[in-house]
Structure 1
């Protein structure tokens, strides 16, 4: 058992990501990134045991294996058509990344610069539109900066609250951006105008740091709490069961 009692920034991020799936019930967790993958496993092993996890390909696993390890229990087969059926019916909660994210939660993973002549080509739109309009979506940003948190995204891949509202009931019916987790804090859109709000900052981070690293005004409560501490059992699971190779520290260096 690890005797290190110091919680790292990466471990706070893992717990913050895990909280996105608290109380989710029997839905498919689709974490994209190392820290979200650890967070989803942690959620299943603790407060969300009904959460569905996959091996990253086509199997639903019954346990929460360490990153890079094979599952010990296989519960089912999830072909691509079955995966899409879960997406389109709201039975998945995906945590995606974002090259750009604005105050309303519009996400860009497609290109940087003007669409007609971009300065950088990225992943492309991929499944972001159907993700954001049909099932709960969260975002993980390992490097919080004004280059990511921008006033206006160059290309809309994932749909934010303002654009969903403009499109009408067919777009808003299942649209929900649950939370944004970065290496500085946790954010949501639970404001009257559905703009990004600071929920918590990680220990060692100030609200001023968050404001300076964000390219648009944030909604800031009078009292901003610290991101919650992981329990001793959660730390044990992170360090000894889910991520013994400390891959989390590569994504969020100590």
Structure 2
């Protein structure tokens, strides 16, 4: 039987489908497993890095040199697809990883804005949320770190040239922004999850098809890769509950 964590790995991998030769920058365990699965199966042209100076294969073996100046050129030219986390995300895809509460006196300090504005305005950015809840999927983020569709549009062509949010993957389902007003839409439910469960865990109305499809089943070959090659220690199961 396929576990919820394995559906999440597969859904994260699908975020890079069709990207071609771009640099994958997965942040976190499940996105990293997904990127490695994509590279080994349907996205052989995907580039991966050790985060320092090398291009590496799905097994971590060096494949080439990637100096930091070249890395930055890829980032600012739309040639990277990053998958980040989100402490909060709203209906337009604005993301917060900086603080919870009022900026002047936050209730909780998080990572800080970091590179989120550059990521979101200069290359495709997807998101991974391991615990889908109303505290994460909020009506309005407390602070904008990653730029959503509404704010990018308001800033004009210079902000929208490379701005794209292909996917949001959570432990409940897969989401995108393919709606007329560029608000979040349910793409698929992970097996065992209901529409009512997703709606109850989201603080804003989601666009939903009348009969949402299920996240696709991994093939036997994909399952073997996940279980025997990419994550034989089953670390994925610690991040995603049943």
Both structures adopt the same fold (TM-score exceeding 0.5): yes
TM-score of Structure 1 vs Structure 2, range by shorter chain: over 0.9
SS of 1:130's equivalent?
helix
Q: Could you tell me which residue of structure 1 aligns to residue 89 of structure 2?
A: 101
SS of 2:119's equivalent?
helix
SS of 2:55's equivalent?
strand
Q: 1:216 aligns with which of 183, 196, 204?
A: 204
How many corresponding residue pairs?
Answer: 242
Point out the more displaced range, 90-99 or 48-57: 48-57
Alignment of 1:1-254 (within 5 A): 6-61=1-56, 63-65=57-59, 71-72=60-61, 74-254=62-242
- Measured against aligned partners, the alpha-carbon deviations of 1:116-141 in whole angstroms (never above 9, x if no partner) come to 11111111111100110110110000
**How far off its partner does 1:49 sit?**
0.1
How far apart, in 1, do the equivalents of 2:133 and 2:241 lie? 16
**How far off its partner does 1:78 sit?**
1.8
**How far off its partner does 1:41 sit?**
0.4
- Measured against aligned partners, the alpha-carbon deviations of 1:92-117 in whole angstroms (never above 9, x if no partner) come to 00000000000000000000111111
Unmatched segments (≥5 aa) in structure 2: none
How far apart, in 1, do the equivalents of 2:173 and 2:79 lie? 27
Structure 1 length normalisation: TM-score? 0.94
How far apart, in 2, do the equivalents of 1:58 and 1:235 lie? 31
How far apart, in 2, do the equivalents of 1:43 and 1:151 lie? 32
Unmatched segments (≥5 aa) in structure 1: 1-5, 66-70
Structure 2 length normalisation: TM-score? 0.98
What value does the CA root-mean-square deviation take over the aligned residues?
0.8
How far apart, in 2, do the equivalents of 1:59 and 1:245 lie? 26
How far apart, in 1, do the equivalents of 2:49 and 2:230 lie? 15
SS of 1:11's equivalent?
helix
- Measured against aligned partners, the alpha-carbon deviations of 1:18-45 in whole angstroms (never above 9, x if no partner) come to 0000111000000011110000000000
**How far off its partner does 1:54 sit?**
1.3
